[in-house]
Amino acid sequence: MKTGRPAKMERTGFGERVRAAREAAGLTQQQVAEQLGITQPSYALWERHPVALKPEQIANLAKILGGRVEELVNPTPPPNRRGGPAGKLRRVFERASDLPRAQQQHILKILEPFVAQHANGHAKAD
């Protein structure tokens, strides 16, 4: 679900990666700005315009968004470690990440307990 007013200009690559990471984390611009100790309009500039951020600002932003600095500053994703095309599960996750946040939350309510139960080979036999 899109909120706010339509943009008058394209986002920078960095801004687009930051916006995508923020939305994937389920956070609003206001929530991220508060955690950074800045105003929402100031943070909005980070997503929309070319900005020169200090390394500690980028590190703090990555921490808030639950990612790595490299994911925010690197214009190309790292290659698939296994080689070849992405697996079916990865493709499903990528499609799910395009769903509205409320629908993503429903998926997480089912998936997180399942993964936690089956992680590290501690799954009970069915």
Same domain, 50 and 100: no
- The pTM assigned to this predicted structure is 0.55
Q: What confidence tens digit (pLDDT) does each residue in 42-83 have? A: 999 999 888 889 999 999 999 999 888 888 888 776 555 555
Q: Which domain holds residue 105?
A: 88-121
CB of 22 closer than 8 Å to CB of 29: yes
Residue 82 belongs to some domain of the structure: no
Overall number of domains in the chain? 2
Q: What confidence tens digit (pLDDT) does each residue in 27-49 have? A: 999 999 999 999 999 999 999 88
Residue 80 belongs to some domain of the structure: no
Residues shown for the chain: 126
- Name the average pLDDT for the chain: 81
Cα 74 to Cα 84: distance, rounded to the nearest angstrom: 21
pLDDT-based confidence at 124, cuts 50/70/90? Answer: low
| DSSP sequence for 30-51 | HHHHHHHTS-HHHHHHHHHS--
pLDDT-based confidence at 93, cuts 50/70/90? Answer: confident
Angle at 42 between CA 8 and CA 102, to 5 degrees: 75
Same domain, 54 and 20: yes
